[in-house]
Amino acid sequence: MRRYRSSRIVALSAALAMLALDQLTKLWALRSLETGATVKLPGPVDLTLVFNRSNAFGLVPDYGALSRWTLACVGLAAAAALLGAMLRRSTSTLNALGFALIGAGAAGNAIDRLRLGAVIDLFDASKLRFVWIFNVADVSIDLGIALVLLAALLPSLEVPEVKTEARPEADQRDN
Which burial class, exposed, middle or buried, applies to 104 when counting CB atoms under 10 A from its CB (0-12, 13-18, 19+)? Answer: buried
Q: Which of 22, 138, 142, 174 is catalytic?
A: 138
Distance CA 143, CA 17 (A): 14
Laid out side by side, the sheet with 46-52 consists of: 38-39, 46-52, 119-124, 133-134
Annotation marks residue 121 as catalytic = yes
Q: Which of 22, 112, 121, 124 is catalytic?
A: 121
Annotation marks residue 142 as catalytic = no
Dmax (CA) for the chain in angstroms is 64
Supply the residues annotated as catalytic. Answer: 121, 138
